[in-house]
């Protein structure tokens, strides 16, 4: 009778399964390069700056993708399970897709709180931390502050320092190498930042409108003034009423530049631009947003060049 053998069969099945599993244990890559996965391309770019040829870095999200809405595809699991280190943006930016990936990765090294879990937000200066009651009447708010903090070179440097320390801790033998790379990165970034600041100086205090609240750190660093948003609330699609109000505000304040992230629809921004005589500017919030933005420096170069152009055109 089948019932007598059910348990025995199950035991056999589990045994086979376990045997199969033990046969294909992945070869440990401990001695090789440090395997680093990051949530976003910006963190990957920073990790690459510090890690050089001693690390393999890959990002889950693409630079032209909305980092709030990444799909937790199983193909990422294959990469995550081999990772020694997972660098995340934090502040609940990845709350919609990263937790199941981490759990399913079956990689003890990168579980939350494990040595291989690195939350970059702990090293950065965070803006827009809400005070008082936080409700979703405000839209998709991030109770721990605005997670788009990487768009400030100073934060980039802070995060890079954190990454350098982390790498050194995980690969003490290469500590000097990472320290050297960090120093070089710091120097290059400082020089670049001086140029960027100089380029942006003539436009200090210029008012802009952005689609999503992705740019507070960028605006603060480069002295821009974000006076409004195309979204009525973070994560809420534009509404006619809000758009009318925004147009009125832009006309009153003489705001001419509407900054849009590459993953948002341009219909509403374009109609606002038509009404206000302004211009829509697609800026890249992340490395890899355009093909030519291959590293952290090119990200700022690209955005600043675009901004200059737009400001000059809309004087």
Partner 1 sequence: MKRLLLLLALASFPLEAQQSPPPPTARAHPDDDSRLRLLEEQVRVLTDEVAHLRSQMQSLQQTNAPGTTPGQVLLASSRIEPSSLPASPEAPAPASGNVSPAGPPPAQVAQTQTYGGASSNAKLLNPDISLIGDFIGAAGHNDVSPSRSLEMHESEVGMQAIIDPYARADAFLSFGEEGVNVEEAYITFTSLPAGLLLKVGKMRAEFGKVNTIHNHALQYIDRPLATNNLVGGEDGIDDAGISLTRFLPAPKGWFAEGTAQVFRGDSDDVFTANRRQDLSVVGHLRAYRDLNESTNLDLGFSYARGHNNAGLLTSDPSAFLTNLYAADATLRWKPLRRAIYNSFLFRTEFFWSARDQLSALNAFETQHAFGMYAHSEYRLNRRWTIGGRFDRSGRADNAALTDTGFSGILTYWPSEFSQIRGQYRYGHLFDTATSRYDNANEFLFQFLFVMGAHGAHPF
Considering only residues 189-218, where is the footprint of partner 1 by CB under 8 A? 189-190, 193-194
In this structure, the number of other CB atoms found within 10 A of the CB of residue 240 comes to 8
According to DSSP, residue 173 is labeled G
Least distance to partner 1, CB of residue 1, Å: 6
Q: Which is nearer to partner 1, 169 or 245 (CB)?
A: 169
Give the one residue of 33, 54, 62, 308 binding partner 1; rule: CB under 8 A: 62
Give the one residue of 28, 30, 53, 113 binding partner 1; rule: CB under 8 A: 113
Instruction: Collapse the DSSP code of 187 into the 3-class scheme (helix H, G, I; strand E, B; otherwise coil) and give the result.
Output: helix
Say whether residue 21 binds partner 1 (CB under 8 A): yes
Give the one residue of 32, 202, 223, 237 binding partner 1; rule: CB under 8 A: 237
Say whether residue 58 binds partner 1 (CB under 8 A): no
Least distance to partner 1, CB of residue 231, Å: 11
**Angle between the N-to-C axes of helices 41-51 and 296-313, in degrees from 0 to 180, rounded to the nearest 10:** 130
Give the one residue of 5, 12, 143, 195 binding partner 1; rule: CB under 8 A: 143
Q: Measuring CA to CA, which residue among 297, 299, 304 is closest to residue 186?
A: 297
Say whether residue 232 binds partner 1 (CB under 8 A): no
- E runs forming strands in the chain: 34-38, 55-59, 85-88, 117-119, 207-210, 225-229, 257-260, 279-282
Please check whether residue 166 is in contact with residue 184, taking contact to mean a CB–CB distance below 8 angstroms: no
| Conformation bin of residue 92: beta by default, left when phi > 0, alpha when psi is -120 to 50 | left
Q: Measuring CA to CA, which residue among 165, 306, 156 is closest to residue 221?
A: 156
Q: Which is nearer to partner 1, 189 or 255 (CB)?
A: 189
Say whether residue 117 binds partner 1 (CB under 8 A): yes
Least distance to partner 1, CB of residue 186, Å: 6
Say whether residue 74 binds partner 1 (CB under 8 A): yes
Q: Which is nearer to partner 1, 174 or 256 (CB)?
A: 174
Give the one residue of 33, 52, 54, 66 binding partner 1; rule: CB under 8 A: 66
Please check whether residue 278 is in contact with residue 257, taking contact to mean a CB–CB distance below 8 angstroms: yes
Structure tokens at 107: 């990689």
Please check whether residue 163 is in contact with residue 186, taking contact to mean a CB–CB distance below 8 angstroms: no
Least distance to partner 1, CB of residue 249, Å: 23
Say whether residue 270 binds partner 1 (CB under 8 A): no
Give the one residue of 19, 25, 30, 173 binding partner 1; rule: CB under 8 A: 25
């Amino acid at each position: 009778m089948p019932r007598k053998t059910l348990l025995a069969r199950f035991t056999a099945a589990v045994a086979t399964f376990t045997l199969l599993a033990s046969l294909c244990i992945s070869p440990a890559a401990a001695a090789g390069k440090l395997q680093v996965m990051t949530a976003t391309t910006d963190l990957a770019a920073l990790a690459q700056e510090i890690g050089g040829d001693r690390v393999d870095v890959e990002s889950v999200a693409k630079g032209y993708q909305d980092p709030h809405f990444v799909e937790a595809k199983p193909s990422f699991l294959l990469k995550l399970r081999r990772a020694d280190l997972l660098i995340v943006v934090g502040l609940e930016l990845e709350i919609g897709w990263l937790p199941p990936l981490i759990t399913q990765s079956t990689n003890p090294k990168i579980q939350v709180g494990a040595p291989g879990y690195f939350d970059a937000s702990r090293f950065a200066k965070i803006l827009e931390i809400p005070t008082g009651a936080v409700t979703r009447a405000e839209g998709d708010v991030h109770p721990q502050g605005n997670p788009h903090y990487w768009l400030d070179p100073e934060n980039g440097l802070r995060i890079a320092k954190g990454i350098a320390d982390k790498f050194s801790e995980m690969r003490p033998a290469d500590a000097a190498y990472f320290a050297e790379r960090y120093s070089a990165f710091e120097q290059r970034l400082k020089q670049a930042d001086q140029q960027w600041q100089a380029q942006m100086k003539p436009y200090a205090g210029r008012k802009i409108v952005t689609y999503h609240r992705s740019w507070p750190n960028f605006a603060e660093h480069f002295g821009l003034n974000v006076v409004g948003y195309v979204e009525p609330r973070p994560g809420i699609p534009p509404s006619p009423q809000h758009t009318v109000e925004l147009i009125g505000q832009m006309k009153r304040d003489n705001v001419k530049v509407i900054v849009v992230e590459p993953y948002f629809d341009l219909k509403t921004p374009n109609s606002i631009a038509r009404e206000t005589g302004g211009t829509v500017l697609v800026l890249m919030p992340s490395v890899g947003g355009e093909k030519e933005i291959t590293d952290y420096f090119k990200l700022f170069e690209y955005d600043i060049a675009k901004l200059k152009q737009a400001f000059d055109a809309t004087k």
